[in-house]
Amino acid sequence: MTAKVASTEFVRFFARLQNNPNWCKQNIHHPDVHKLKLLNSYTAEKAQQIMVSPEWTKAIFVRHPKSRLLSAYLDKAIQYSERFVGEYCKAFERHNNNYDECVEKHEDFDFFLKRITSTLSEDVHWRTIYSRVDEKWWPYIDYIGYMDNLNDDAKKLFSSIRSSVDGVSAWDRIGVSGWSGNKEGDCKDNLESSIPFLGRSDARHKTRAKKKMKKYYTPDLEKYVEKSFADDLQNPFFHFDNINLSLEDEEGEISVRVS
């Protein structure tokens, strides 16, 4: 799972698929809660076998860095500002930087992009997605889904994964319904919902996200992201929209998927 690409929802999906009764409870990212067996749970030899085996489906969901970075900023530096100061500003200081400067400027998007993400570059919430997987494994990734087409891409992936016991797809098993959006409530309430997995997202999300990016990004910051996060924008596997906010009209029509 990739941070800031609906990772919490995907963890919940896999936990529910494993009949984990706590799939909609709090702290789902904690191993004791989700109880999922991850790739690093295997020996290095077995993990390598999995990566090259056609019997295993290797998939990843990705997000354009401009959108992903803004999401990380609004979540970590703005919504949880006090926690950011206590955790990230202290980490910033441990890298021989000024703690008080971080406290004062951490809610400034320019400071967040140019100072925080560069100093704490290994943080999972903004580290380039491409760098998280060794280059030699990318050709073995079977499916790449996109945040801007999340609902359809998730359905396509989970419809293709079928049980070896009864042949039922993961989507038909648990994806078609039972997702009320009540992430940390009663699991029974969720199960009684007719809403499909990620069904709370709607077609207006992309338009709202574009307007939000225009509010925070300057041409200078766009160029900074394009250069500093080039790994995600200039590799042969991701085909992101070519987002140039400074050139788009108010409806954001100049955005073309690069193939």
> Can you give the pLDDT at residue 259?
39
pLDDT one-digit tens code per residue, 152-210: 999 999 999 999 999 999 999 999 998 875 555 556 667 778 889 988 655 556 667 88
Measuring CA to CA, how many Å separate 78 from each of 83, 125, 135, 167? 10, 14, 34, 45
pTM across the whole model: 0.88
> Can you give the pLDDT at residue 71?
95
> Can you give the pLDDT at residue 202?
53
> Can you give the pLDDT at residue 191?
76
Neighbour tally for 221: CB within 10 Å: 20
> Can you give the pLDDT at residue 247?
80
> Can you give the pLDDT at residue 186?
58
Residue position matching structure tokens 């997702």: 179
pLDDT one-digit tens code per residue, 39-74: 999 999 999 999 999 999 999 999 999 999 999 999
187 contacts 24 by C-beta, under 8 angstroms: yes
Neighbour tally for 121: CB within 10 Å: 12
> Can you give the pLDDT at residue 255?
44
| Closest C-alpha to 243, from 256, 228, 234 | 256
> Can you give the pLDDT at residue 183?
53
Average pLDDT over residues 132-139: 95
Average pLDDT over residues 118-142: 96
Average pLDDT over residues 122-150: 96
pLDDT band at 215 (very low <50, low <70, confident <90, very high): very high
> Can you give the pLDDT at residue 147?
93
> Can you give the pLDDT at residue 160?
96
